[in-house]
Protein backbone atom coordinates (compact mmCIF):
# COMPACT_ATOMS: atom_id res chain seq x y z
CA UNK A 1 0.00 0.00 0.00
CA UNK A 2 2.84 2.38 0.83
CA UNK A 3 4.45 1.74 -2.54
CA UNK A 4 1.24 1.95 -4.55
CA UNK A 5 -0.08 5.16 -3.00
CA UNK A 6 3.29 6.77 -2.22
CA UNK A 7 2.51 7.21 1.47
CA UNK A 8 4.55 6.34 4.54
CA UNK A 9 4.02 3.10 6.40
CA UNK A 10 2.90 5.12 9.42
CA UNK A 11 0.14 6.80 7.40
CA UNK A 12 -1.06 3.50 5.93
CA UNK A 13 -1.05 1.86 9.38
CA UNK A 14 -2.90 4.76 10.98
CA UNK A 15 -5.69 4.77 8.40
CA UNK A 16 -5.91 0.97 8.31
CA UNK A 17 -6.53 0.88 12.06
CA UNK A 18 -8.89 3.84 11.90
CA UNK A 19 -11.07 2.12 9.28
CA UNK A 20 -10.85 -1.17 11.17
CA UNK A 21 -12.15 0.48 14.35
CA UNK A 22 -14.85 2.23 12.32
CA UNK A 23 -16.17 -1.05 10.92
CA UNK A 24 -16.19 -2.63 14.39
CA UNK A 25 -18.26 0.28 15.74
CA UNK A 26 -21.01 -0.82 13.35
CA UNK A 27 -21.63 -4.06 15.27
CA UNK A 28 -24.95 -2.80 16.58
CA UNK A 29 -26.21 -2.35 13.02
CA UNK A 30 -24.56 -5.25 11.23
CA UNK A 31 -24.99 -8.14 13.65
CA UNK A 32 -28.16 -10.12 12.97
CA UNK A 33 -30.78 -10.17 15.72
CA UNK A 34 -31.78 -13.85 16.18
CA UNK A 35 -35.31 -15.00 15.39
CA UNK A 36 -36.85 -18.29 16.52
CA UNK A 37 -38.10 -21.03 14.23
CA UNK A 38 -41.87 -20.64 14.19
CA UNK A 39 -44.52 -23.35 14.43
CA UNK A 40 -45.53 -22.78 10.80
CA UNK A 41 -41.99 -23.23 9.43
CA UNK A 42 -42.05 -25.22 6.16
CA UNK A 43 -38.27 -25.57 5.68
CA UNK A 44 -37.74 -29.32 5.87
CA UNK A 45 -34.32 -28.88 7.52
CA UNK A 46 -35.64 -26.74 10.36
CA UNK A 47 -39.35 -27.40 10.88
CA UNK A 48 -38.76 -29.83 13.76
CA UNK A 49 -36.56 -27.41 15.67
CA UNK A 50 -39.18 -25.01 16.97
CA UNK A 51 -37.82 -22.14 19.11
CA UNK A 52 -34.33 -22.71 17.69
CA UNK A 53 -32.31 -19.53 17.03
CA UNK A 54 -29.64 -20.95 14.72
CA UNK A 55 -26.39 -22.88 15.08
CA UNK A 56 -23.00 -22.36 16.70
CA UNK A 57 -19.56 -23.90 16.49
CA UNK A 58 -15.88 -23.06 16.69
CA UNK A 59 -13.37 -22.67 13.87
CA UNK A 60 -9.62 -22.15 13.73
CA UNK A 61 -8.13 -19.10 12.04
CA UNK A 62 -4.34 -19.04 11.80
CA UNK A 63 -2.53 -16.20 13.53
CA UNK A 64 1.03 -15.09 14.38
CA UNK A 65 1.96 -14.75 18.03
CA UNK A 66 5.24 -14.26 19.93
CA UNK A 67 7.40 -17.37 20.22
CA UNK A 68 6.67 -17.81 23.93
CA UNK A 69 2.90 -17.90 23.24
CA UNK A 70 2.97 -20.48 20.47
CA UNK A 71 2.38 -23.54 22.71
CA UNK A 72 -0.93 -22.05 23.90
CA UNK A 73 -2.08 -21.25 20.38
CA UNK A 74 -1.04 -24.60 18.88
CA UNK A 75 -4.01 -26.72 17.78
CA UNK A 76 -4.20 -30.50 17.77
CA UNK A 77 -3.08 -30.35 14.13
CA UNK A 78 0.01 -28.35 15.07
CA UNK A 79 -1.14 -25.04 13.56
CA UNK A 80 -0.84 -21.73 15.40
CA UNK A 81 -4.40 -20.41 15.46
CA UNK A 82 -7.12 -18.72 17.45
CA UNK A 83 -10.29 -20.67 18.25
CA UNK A 84 -13.19 -18.50 17.07
CA UNK A 85 -16.73 -19.10 18.32
CA UNK A 86 -19.33 -18.28 15.67
CA UNK A 87 -23.13 -18.21 15.93
CA UNK A 88 -25.30 -17.77 12.85
CA UNK A 89 -28.90 -17.74 11.64
CA UNK A 90 -30.59 -19.88 8.99
CA UNK A 91 -29.63 -17.36 6.29
CA UNK A 92 -25.92 -17.55 7.21
CA UNK A 93 -25.61 -14.21 8.98
CA UNK A 94 -23.60 -13.91 12.17
CA UNK A 95 -25.45 -13.28 15.42
CA UNK A 96 -22.32 -13.45 17.54
CA UNK A 97 -18.62 -14.21 17.16
CA UNK A 98 -15.86 -14.41 19.70
CA UNK A 99 -12.20 -14.51 18.48
CA UNK A 100 -9.13 -14.48 20.66
CA UNK A 101 -9.01 -17.78 22.52
CA UNK A 102 -5.88 -19.87 22.03
CA UNK A 103 -6.05 -22.74 19.56
CA UNK A 104 -5.41 -25.23 22.35
CA UNK A 105 -8.70 -24.29 24.07
CA UNK A 106 -11.68 -26.61 23.60
CA UNK A 107 -14.86 -25.35 21.93
CA UNK A 108 -16.86 -25.89 25.11
CA UNK A 109 -14.40 -23.82 27.15
CA UNK A 110 -14.67 -20.93 24.68
CA UNK A 111 -18.47 -21.11 24.83
CA UNK A 112 -18.48 -21.08 28.64
CA UNK A 113 -16.37 -17.94 28.62
CA UNK A 114 -18.57 -16.31 25.95
CA UNK A 115 -21.78 -16.73 27.95
CA UNK A 116 -20.15 -15.63 31.22
CA UNK A 117 -19.24 -12.16 29.93
CA UNK A 118 -21.54 -9.16 30.49
CA UNK A 119 -21.73 -8.50 26.73
CA UNK A 120 -21.40 -12.13 25.70
CA UNK A 121 -23.74 -14.61 24.07
CA UNK A 122 -27.29 -14.65 25.41
CA UNK A 123 -29.83 -17.45 24.97
CA UNK A 124 -33.37 -16.45 25.99
CA UNK A 125 -35.07 -19.03 28.21
CA UNK A 126 -37.07 -21.48 26.11
CA UNK A 127 -34.84 -21.00 23.05
CA UNK A 128 -31.72 -22.87 21.99
CA UNK A 129 -28.94 -23.26 19.42
CA UNK A 130 -27.89 -26.40 17.57
CA UNK A 131 -24.38 -27.51 18.60
CA UNK A 132 -22.18 -30.45 17.68
CA UNK A 133 -21.04 -33.34 19.84
CA UNK A 134 -18.14 -31.35 21.30
CA UNK A 135 -20.59 -29.40 23.46
CA UNK A 136 -22.78 -30.43 26.38
CA UNK A 137 -26.38 -31.28 25.55
CA UNK A 138 -28.13 -28.99 28.02
CA UNK A 139 -30.80 -26.34 28.23
CA UNK A 140 -30.24 -23.81 25.47
CA UNK A 141 -27.83 -26.02 23.48
CA UNK A 142 -29.17 -29.00 21.53
CA UNK A 143 -26.45 -31.53 20.71
CA UNK A 144 -26.64 -34.79 18.73
CA UNK A 145 -26.49 -38.26 20.27
CA UNK A 146 -22.90 -39.28 20.85
CA UNK A 147 -21.62 -42.62 19.60
CA UNK A 148 -24.16 -42.54 16.75
CA UNK A 149 -23.72 -41.73 13.06
CA UNK A 150 -23.84 -37.98 12.63
CA UNK A 151 -21.79 -36.29 9.89
CA UNK A 152 -23.54 -35.70 6.57
CA UNK A 153 -20.94 -37.77 4.70
CA UNK A 154 -22.12 -40.82 6.67
CA UNK A 155 -25.61 -40.54 5.17
CA UNK A 156 -24.62 -40.64 1.53
CA UNK A 157 -25.53 -43.48 -0.82
CA UNK A 158 -29.07 -43.57 0.60
CA UNK A 159 -28.07 -45.18 3.90
CA UNK A 160 -31.27 -45.17 5.91
CA UNK A 161 -31.33 -44.50 9.67
CA UNK A 162 -31.87 -47.59 11.83
CA UNK A 163 -33.43 -45.93 14.87
CA UNK A 164 -34.68 -42.62 16.29
CA UNK A 165 -31.20 -41.56 17.45
CA UNK A 166 -29.71 -41.94 13.97
CA UNK A 167 -32.64 -40.15 12.33
CA UNK A 168 -32.40 -37.29 14.81
CA UNK A 169 -28.65 -36.97 14.19
CA UNK A 170 -29.20 -36.91 10.43
CA UNK A 171 -31.75 -34.07 10.63
CA UNK A 172 -29.67 -32.25 13.26
CA UNK A 173 -26.56 -32.40 11.03
CA UNK A 174 -28.46 -31.13 7.98
CA UNK A 175 -29.66 -28.07 9.91
CA UNK A 176 -26.49 -27.39 11.93
CA UNK A 177 -24.42 -27.51 8.74
CA UNK A 178 -25.41 -23.87 8.21
CA UNK A 179 -22.62 -22.70 10.58
CA UNK A 180 -20.04 -24.82 8.73
CA UNK A 181 -21.16 -23.23 5.46
CA UNK A 182 -21.03 -19.79 7.07
CA UNK A 183 -17.41 -20.34 8.15
CA UNK A 184 -16.55 -21.74 4.72
CA UNK A 185 -18.02 -18.70 2.98
CA UNK A 186 -16.25 -16.32 5.36
CA UNK A 187 -12.82 -17.83 4.68
CA UNK A 188 -13.48 -18.11 0.95
CA UNK A 189 -14.41 -14.43 0.78
CA UNK A 190 -11.57 -12.95 2.84
CA UNK A 191 -8.06 -14.00 1.88
CA UNK A 192 -6.67 -12.27 4.98
CA UNK A 193 -8.28 -15.03 7.08
CA UNK A 194 -6.62 -17.83 5.13
CA UNK A 195 -3.07 -16.99 6.19
CA UNK A 196 -1.63 -15.35 9.31
CA UNK A 197 -0.67 -11.67 9.23
CA UNK A 198 2.11 -9.82 11.03
CA UNK A 199 -0.24 -7.62 13.06
CA UNK A 200 -0.33 -7.96 16.86
CA UNK A 201 -2.80 -10.62 18.01
CA UNK A 202 -5.24 -7.96 19.23
CA UNK A 203 -5.34 -6.43 15.74
CA UNK A 204 -5.66 -9.86 14.13
CA UNK A 205 -8.76 -10.48 16.26
CA UNK A 206 -10.17 -7.10 15.18
CA UNK A 207 -9.64 -8.12 11.55
CA UNK A 208 -11.63 -11.32 12.12
CA UNK A 209 -14.43 -9.28 13.71
CA UNK A 210 -14.47 -6.80 10.83
CA UNK A 211 -14.61 -9.59 8.23
CA UNK A 212 -17.60 -11.17 10.01
CA UNK A 213 -19.41 -7.82 10.05
CA UNK A 214 -18.69 -7.13 6.38
CA UNK A 215 -19.89 -10.66 5.59
CA UNK A 216 -23.24 -9.74 7.17
CA UNK A 217 -23.36 -6.48 5.22
CA UNK A 218 -22.80 -8.30 1.91
CA UNK A 219 -25.35 -10.99 2.75
CA UNK A 220 -27.89 -8.31 3.62
CA UNK A 221 -27.35 -6.10 0.57
CA UNK A 222 -26.91 -8.69 -2.20
CA UNK A 223 -29.95 -10.62 -3.40
CA UNK A 224 -27.63 -13.41 -4.60
CA UNK A 225 -24.23 -14.06 -3.06
CA UNK A 226 -22.01 -15.15 -5.99
CA UNK A 227 -19.62 -17.00 -3.70
CA UNK A 228 -22.37 -19.25 -2.37
CA UNK A 229 -22.56 -21.17 -5.66
CA UNK A 230 -18.81 -21.68 -5.44
CA UNK A 231 -19.24 -22.92 -1.88
CA UNK A 232 -21.91 -25.40 -3.05
CA UNK A 233 -19.29 -27.02 -5.21
CA UNK A 234 -16.96 -27.75 -2.27
CA UNK A 235 -17.10 -30.10 0.73
CA UNK A 236 -16.81 -28.83 3.31
CA UNK A 237 -22.93 -8.79 19.49
CA UNK A 238 -26.38 -7.59 19.52
CA UNK A 239 -28.80 -10.31 20.54
CA UNK A 240 -32.37 -10.38 21.71
CA UNK A 241 -31.98 -9.88 25.45
CA UNK A 242 -35.64 -9.53 26.45
CA UNK A 243 -36.69 -11.64 29.42
CA UNK A 244 -34.66 -14.27 31.26
CA UNK A 245 -31.51 -15.70 29.71
CA UNK A 246 -29.51 -18.86 30.34
CA UNK A 247 -26.12 -18.35 31.95
CA UNK A 248 -24.80 -21.91 32.21
CA UNK A 249 -24.27 -25.00 30.07
CA UNK A 250 -25.25 -27.94 32.21
CA UNK A 251 -26.73 -31.32 31.27
CA UNK A 252 -30.19 -32.05 32.66
CA UNK A 253 -32.49 -35.05 32.71
CA UNK A 254 -35.36 -32.83 31.59
CA UNK A 255 -33.46 -31.62 28.52
CA UNK A 256 -32.36 -35.17 27.65
CA UNK A 257 -35.95 -36.41 27.95
CA UNK A 258 -37.13 -33.58 25.70
CA UNK A 259 -34.55 -34.50 23.08
CA UNK A 260 -35.57 -38.17 23.23
CA UNK A 261 -39.23 -37.27 22.84
CA UNK A 262 -38.47 -35.00 19.87
CA UNK A 263 -36.33 -37.69 18.24
CA UNK A 264 -39.10 -40.29 18.62
CA UNK A 265 -41.67 -37.93 17.07
CA UNK A 266 -39.38 -37.24 14.12
CA UNK A 267 -38.61 -40.92 13.58
CA UNK A 268 -42.24 -42.03 13.88
CA UNK A 269 -43.38 -39.49 11.27
CA UNK A 270 -40.59 -40.56 8.91
CA UNK A 271 -41.56 -44.21 9.28
CA UNK A 272 -45.25 -43.46 8.63
CA UNK A 273 -44.38 -41.56 5.46
CA UNK A 274 -42.22 -44.42 4.20
CA UNK A 275 -45.13 -46.87 4.08
Report helix angle 164-189 to 253-274, nearest 10: 100
pLDDT of residue 245: 41
What phi and psi, each to the nearest 5 degrees, are found at residue 98? -145, 85
**Which regions in the chain score pLDDT beneath 70?**
152, 154-158, 232-250, 275
What phi and psi, each to the nearest 5 degrees, are found at residue 50? -60, 145
The Cα–Cα gap between 197 and 207 comes to 10
* Confidence (pTM): 0.87
**Per-residue pLDDT reduced to its tens digit, 244-261:** 444 446 677 889 999 999
Q: What is the 3-state secondary structure (H, E, C) of the chain?
A: CHHHHCCCHHHHHHHHHHHHHHHHCCHHHHCCCCCCCCCCCCCCCCCCCCCEEEEEEEEEEECCCCHHHHHHHECCCCCEEEEEEEEECCCCCEEEEEEEEECCCCHHHHHHHHHHCCCCCCEECCCEEECCCCCCCECCEECCCCCCCCCHHHHCCCCCCCCHHHHHHHHHHHHHHHHHHHHHHHHHHCHHHCCCCCCCHHHHHHHHHHHHHHHHHHHHHCCCCHHHHHHHCCCCCCCCCCCCEECCCCECHHHHHHHHHHHHHHHHHHHHHHC
pLDDT of residue 237: 33
pLDDT of residue 222: 87
pLDDT of residue 178: 94
pLDDT of residue 236: 46
pLDDT of residue 244: 42
pLDDT of residue 233: 55
What phi and psi, each to the nearest 5 degrees, are found at residue 174? -65, -35
pLDDT of residue 35: 93
pLDDT of residue 223: 84
The Cα–Cα gap between 197 and 106 comes to 23
Amino acid sequence: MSSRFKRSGETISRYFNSILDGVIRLQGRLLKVPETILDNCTDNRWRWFKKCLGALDGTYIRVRVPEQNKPRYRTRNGEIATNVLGVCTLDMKFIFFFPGWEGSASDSRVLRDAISRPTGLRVPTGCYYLVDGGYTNGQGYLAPYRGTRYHLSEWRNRRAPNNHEEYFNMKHAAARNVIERCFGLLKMRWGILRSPTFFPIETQCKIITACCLLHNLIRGEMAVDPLENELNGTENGETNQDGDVLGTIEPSDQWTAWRNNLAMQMYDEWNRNRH
